[in-house]
Structure 1
Amino acid sequence: MKLFILGATGRVGTRIVADALRGEHEVAALVRQPNKMEVTGRKLTLIQGNATNKDDIRIAMQGADAVFSSLGTDGTTTLSESMYIVIREMKQQGIRRIVSVGTAGILRSRTNPDLYRYQSSESRRRSTFAAEEHRRVYELLLHSDLDWTIVCPTYLPDGDRLGTYRVERDYLPEGGTSISVADTAEFAYRQINSAEYNCSRVGIAY
């Protein structure tokens, strides 16, 4: 399988690249600064470019069987702008599977299921910008005809992979307060070849 990866130099993205290469997959990663890529491999191709440039996306995505995105929000609308282009290009190239890393803020609130968590008292964040960007991505995917999954972690510390965690469709597992980068990446990577959470948001926490 060939994977097209966005956000490959980030904390989760780097681990996804490493997992994919260990699995003998071919990886094409679109990155702004190739020198920041910490993983190497004979099946890894780095394409320097911008995630909001449609030509860069089109070229880097060619031949891919599935797409993975762990782009961050970085205080801009890069995330939602990129996803709009990615969805359009996936349809053009006949690619159906995409796994994206979101945030627990776009899951349903347990106290008020009509609200996103970031809109409810369950969220303690003062700024909602990042959550709103992730919500736009969710809504773009929701209204596409793609086979998508959004993995929605809560607080993401570094740490070793434990391999034991809880996941729940549409909600953050009750009482969950954190999930490591390593375990988030492990779960997200497994979704690339799984239809269990197709067209779903998935909360993940210890």
Structure 2
Amino acid sequence: MMRITVFGATGNVGSRVVAEALSRGHEVTAIMRDPTRLHGLNASANIRTGDAGNSEDVARLSAGQDLVITATRPPSGKERELVAITESLFSGLTETKVRLLIVGGAGGLTVPGDSNALVVDDPRYVGPAWRGIALACTEQLEVCRVQFRANWTYLSPPAMLMPGERTGTFRVGKDELLVDSEGNSSISIEDFAVALIDEAEQPKHPQARFTVAYPPVFFSFGVSLKAAIQKAAILKVTNLLLHSLRYRASIARHENPSQ
């Protein structure tokens, strides 16, 4: 059992991280700036007020904990605040020496097949509406990379991160955006939270960034799993019908030997 503090606990990602950690038996302290935003948060969490952008709050709320997770996102138009918030987190954790897991962005990942191009600059993955936060997340990662004495890990999502189901199945990569054979790059927020808590329990990326995404599910001959299952079901039904017809024909021959 770990004692985990989660900043940004009421957001789309943060609330699912809280739920995933609690489901595995960890003690979770959920931090929020506005205590009125409790709706939807798991009732088993310890609720505290605080601000990730205040280094004194970070030091106070991380004392005695095993891990701090930040899923903080500034409101639209204030994306650049993310850089200052990240600096504040590292400043506050200087005292307590607690490990930090960061819910980052995909902008700083490299484009598949081109290690010199970043996702943030590719309109196929980052539209105008998302460019502000993508740039801020890219700067956030650079803040992490100069924290040589801190114990941190940065998790980048794929291009699409949406609410969905928890499957527990995904690929793990490093610095390149993970895509399938059709160029899709996605994962549910629920499975993203699984990946984060997996890293919390079994650290594999100290002072590094990693990323996750759903795997392409294809057989070697190029048939998708869904299509293969459908074909297998049709084949099974066809075989059952043929077997039934042969059986009935056999019965009919026994009843009418002259046939």
Aligned to 1:190: 198
Aligned to 1:181: 189
Amino acid of the structure 1 residue aligned with 2:162: P
Percentage of matched positions with identical amino acids = 27
SS in 1 for 2:128: coil
Alignment check: 8 A CA contact 2:172 2:213 kept: yes
Aligned to 2:81: 78
Aligned to 2:140: 137
Report the Cα distance in structure 2 between the residues aligned to 1:116 and 1:198, rounded to whole angstroms.
22
CA apart distance, 1:23? 2.7
Alignment check: 8 A CA contact 2:101 2:152 kept: yes
After superposition, the Cα gap between the structure-2 partners of 1:46 and 1:109, relative to the gap in structure 1 and judged at 3 Å, is same
Aligned to 1:28: 29
Output the aligned Cα RMSD.
Answer: 1.9
CA apart distance, 1:7? 1.0
Report the Cα distance in structure 2 between the residues aligned to 1:48 and 1:147, rounded to whole angstroms.
24
SS in 2 for 1:192: helix
85-94 vs 73-82, which moves further: 73-82
Corresponding position: 1:88 with 2:91: yes
CA apart distance, 1:144? 0.5
Amino acid of the structure 1 residue aligned with 2:100: I
Report the structure number with the largest CA radius of gyration.
2
After superposition, the Cα gap between the structure-2 partners of 1:176 and 1:168, relative to the gap in structure 1 and judged at 3 Å, is farther
Q: TM-score scaled by structure 2? A: 0.72
Counterpart mapping for 1:5-154 below 5 A: 5-37=6-38, 38-41=41-44, 44-75=45-76, 76=78, 77-95=80-98, 97-120=99-122, 122-127=124-129, 128-145=131-148, 146-153=150-157, 154=159
Report the Cα distance in structure 2 between the residues aligned to 1:105 and 1:34, rounded to whole angstroms.
31
> Structure 1 or 2: larger helix share?
2
After superposition, the Cα gap between the structure-2 partners of 1:124 and 1:25, relative to the gap in structure 1 and judged at 3 Å, is closer
By relative contact order (CA 8 Å, sep 6+), the higher-ranking structure is 1
SS in 1 for 2:82: helix
CA apart distance, 1:205? 1.8
CA apart distance, 1:182? 0.6
Alignment check: 8 A CA contact 2:17 2:193 kept: yes
Report the Cα distance in structure 1 between the residues aligned to 2:184 and 2:81, rounded to whole angstroms.
29
Report the Cα distance in structure 2 between the residues aligned to 1:73 and 1:167, rounded to whole angstroms.
27
161-170 vs 49-58, which moves further: 49-58
CA apart distance, 1:64? 1.5
Equivalent residue for 1:166, pick from 167, 171, 184 = 171
140-149 vs 182-191, which moves further: 140-149
